[in-house]
């Protein structure tokens, strides 16, 4: 049962996932109180090391730690001695000499977080490494789905967009399949990995083929920063086959929900006008709720890693 | 764990619930300003029974909340397995007289944590503690206002409290660890 780090979905078994999802509900209750803070991790120090820009994940981890009364240090390489030529590992070891209890790490290279975890003794949480994994996003997505449907098994979910460059897609697909959801992908072949056998999911080349049958439509962010060549002819072409516009929004199955890990490229993954309806469609558009649930999931993970044997 | 002796049976527990209900009404001169908080898990059924009895006697409704103290424990470094339960206090506690209920009073650390948790929800007028069993061995300056039974124990014994709502029978027994 013991887990030292959260690096990847692969190292979690079903029992871990169910335990995390169950305890997240209790942490979410704290966020609904007037005084949104409990002393569970008082005296613990958590360090956020983000080599890649991030608003929601870093803020989410920071808030999660603070809601549990832990101290947080935010470290960003642009304002550090790395500019003076210190290596990443030396920098991290220096910071850890200051007696942190847990590190949250994001980096642009796949596998970097695992490398760090092998060289330091405290628990490490992967907050996203390259194209590889983003396990806390996948867990908060699963929690959001579970909160809405009160079950996981046999939920049909379409993951739409840039599968190739997306660590969210990789972690989501492996977590959802592990928990017996029915996962489909919707993506142009240029934005799929060459070898899809690892995922073993059926792909559709137009969102209209499947939109009416799915309980969850999960739009991925177009990862422009990782696209080193042009993957589709034009935005208009992409809009025709993949973008979630008004018509497709209305064609979604009764009771289905729309998700996106954020930040949204308006007009590419989702029509801006659909996004602007979120306040009136909270039961259907879950993008804001995902952010809120992110804090609760991260509270559960921090507490889990710092409280077990 | 081996059972050594039964301390309370169903009718003993029933009499205790009724007696404590009367004591609470007497001390608070009625039940106007009272609310009940049961500590997860075994404080809940006991609190419900006493609350129900007071409601019957006083012909009134009394708010009832559930309190989980996992987030307020002081022993995270002892790596004790944590089972979370829901905290549900859907009403204002400000200026209320809180009847806090737990099954066994032992070191006092659970009650310390519960007091911290309650203060995060507001500033009550008073907090009074009900326990079914006071087994001694306090590590903190905490005492109960209403005690079902004082039960001197040794540290290598364990007090097992069972409720119909959870275990299917009402019984308190003392066991060897």
Give the span between the Cα atoms of A199 and B130, in whole angstroms: 56
Assign A260 a pLDDT band (cuts: 50, 70, 90).
Answer: very high
Same domain for A303 and A219: no
What does the pLDDT look like over B132-164, one tens digit per residue?
999 999 999 999 999 999 999 999 999 999 999
- The DSSP-derived string for A19-57 is HHHHHHHHHHHHHTSSS----TTTT-EEEEEESS--SHH
Domain boundaries, chain B: 17-155
What integer pLDDT is reported at residue A95 of this predicted model? Answer: 78
The verdict on residue A39 lying in a domain is yes
Same domain for A172 and A30: no
The verdict on residue A284 lying in a domain is yes
Tokens of A177: 């399949």
Same domain for A200 and A109: no
Candidate from A25, A35, A307 with C-beta closest to B79 = A307
What does the pLDDT look like over A32-68, one tens digit per residue?
999 999 999 999 999 999 988 888 899 999 999 999 9
Contact flag A38-B72 (C-beta cutoff 8 Å): yes
CB < 8 Å & 24+ apart, contacts of A101-105: A101/A44, A101/A45, A101/A46, A101/A70, A101/A306, A102/A44, A102/A45, A102/A46, A102/A47, A102/A302, A102/A305, A102/A306, A103/A46, A103/A47, A103/A49, A104/A46, A104/A47, A104/A48, A104/A49, A104/A61, A105/A49, A105/A50, A105/A51, A105/A129
Same domain for A168 and A77: no
The conformational region for residue A103 under phi > 0 = left, psi -120 to 50 = alpha, else beta, is beta
Give the nearest chain B residue to A305 (CA atoms). B79
What does the pLDDT look like over A6-42, one tens digit per residue?
999 999 999 999 999 999 999 999 999 999 999 999 9
The verdict on residue A2 lying in a domain is no
The verdict on residue A4 lying in a domain is no
Domain containing residue A105:
9-134+291-307
What does the pLDDT look like over A279-292, one tens digit per residue?
999 999 999 999 99
- How much is the average pLDDT of B92-109? 96
Those residues of chain A whose CB sits closer than 8 Å to some CB in chain B are 22-23, 25-26, 29-30, 33-35, 37-41, 44, 68, 303, 306-309
The verdict on residue A151 lying in a domain is yes
Q: Which chain B residues are closer than 8 Å to A99 by Cβ?
A: none
Same domain for A303 and A241: no
Domain count, chain A: 2
The verdict on residue A1 lying in a domain is no
What does the pLDDT look like over A180-192, one tens digit per residue?
999 999 999 888 9
Instruction: Say if residue A309's pLDDT is above 60.
Output: no
User: Domain B17-155: which topology?
Assistant: Rossmann fold (3.40.50)
Tokens of B133: 């069993």
What CATH number has the domain bearing residue A51? Answer: 3.40.50.1370
DSSP SS3 for A104: strand
Same domain for A181 and A96: no
Candidate from B71, B73, B76 with C-beta closest to A30 = B71
Task: Give, in order, the Cα–Cα distances in Å from A254 to each of A156, A216, B145.
Answer: 13, 11, 55
Tell me the pLDDT of chain B averaged across its residues.
94
Instruction: Say if residue A105's pLDDT is above 70.
Output: yes
Give the span between the Cα atoms of B51 and A5, in whole angstroms: 45
Same domain for A149 and A281: yes
Tell me the pLDDT of chain A averaged across its residues.
91
Same domain for A231 and A101: no
Same domain for A154 and A66: no
Instruction: Say if residue A106's pLDDT is above 60.
Output: yes
């Amino acid at each position: 049962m013991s887990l030292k780090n959260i690096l990847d979905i692969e190292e979690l078994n079903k029992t871990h996932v169910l335990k995390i999802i169950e305890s997240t509900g209790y942490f979410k209750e704290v966020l609904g109180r007037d005084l949104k803070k409990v002393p569970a991790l008082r005296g613990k120090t958590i360090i956020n090391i983000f080599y890649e820009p991030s608003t929601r994940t870093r803020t989410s981890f920071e808030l999660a730690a603070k809601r549990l009364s832990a101290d947080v240090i935010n470290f960003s390489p642009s304002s550090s001695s790395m500019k003076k030529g210190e290596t990443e590992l030396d920098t991290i070891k220096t910071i850890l000499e200051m007696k942190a209890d847990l590190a949250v790490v994001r980096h642009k290279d796949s596998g970097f977080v695992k490398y760090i975890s092998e060289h330091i003794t405290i628990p490490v949480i992967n907050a996203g490494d390259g194209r590889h994994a983003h396990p806390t996003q996948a867990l908060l997505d699963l929690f959001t789905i579970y909160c809405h449907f009160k079950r996981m098994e046999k939920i049909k979910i379409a993951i739409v967009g840039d599968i190739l460059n997306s660590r969210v897609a990789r972690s989501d697909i492996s977590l959802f399949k592990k928990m017996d959801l029915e996962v489909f992908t919707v993506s142009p072949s240029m934005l799929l990995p060459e070898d899809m056998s690892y995922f073993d999911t059926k792909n559709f080349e137009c969102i209209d083929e499947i939109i009416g049958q799915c309980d969850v439509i999960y739009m991925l962010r177009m990862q422009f920063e990782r696209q080193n060549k042009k993957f589709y002819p034009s935005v208009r072409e992409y809009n025709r086959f993949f973008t979630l516009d008004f018509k497709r929004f209305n064609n979604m199955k009764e009771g289905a929900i729309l998700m996106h890990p954020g930040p949204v490229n308006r007009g590419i993954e989702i029509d801006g006008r659909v996004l602007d309806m979120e306040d009136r469609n909270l039961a259907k558009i879950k993008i804001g709720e995902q952010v809120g649930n992110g804090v609760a999931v991260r509270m559960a993970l921090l507490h889990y890693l710092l409280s077990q044997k | 764990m081996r059972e050594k002796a039964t301390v309370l049976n169903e009718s003993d527990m029933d009499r205790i619930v009724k007696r404590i209900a009367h004591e609470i009404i007497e001390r608070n001169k009625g039940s106007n300003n009272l609310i009940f908080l049961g500590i997860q898990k075994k404080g809940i059924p006991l609190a419900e029974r006493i609350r129900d009895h007071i409601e019957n006697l006083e012909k009134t409704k009394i708010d009832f909340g559930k309190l989980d103290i996992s987030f307020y424990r002081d022993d995270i470094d002892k790596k004790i397995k944590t089972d979370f339960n829901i905290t549900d206090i859907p009403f204002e506690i400000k200026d209320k007289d809180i009847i806090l209920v737990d099954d066994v009073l032992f070191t006092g650390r659970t009650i310390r944590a519960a007091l911290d948790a309650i203060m995060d929800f507001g500033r009550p007028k008073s907090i009074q503690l009900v326990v079914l069993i006071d087994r001694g061995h306090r590590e903190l300056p905490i005492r109960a206002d209403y005690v079902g039974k004082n039960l001197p124990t040794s540290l290598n014994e364990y007090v097992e409290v069972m409720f119909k709502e959870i275990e299917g029978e009402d019984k308190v027994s003392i066991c060897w660890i």
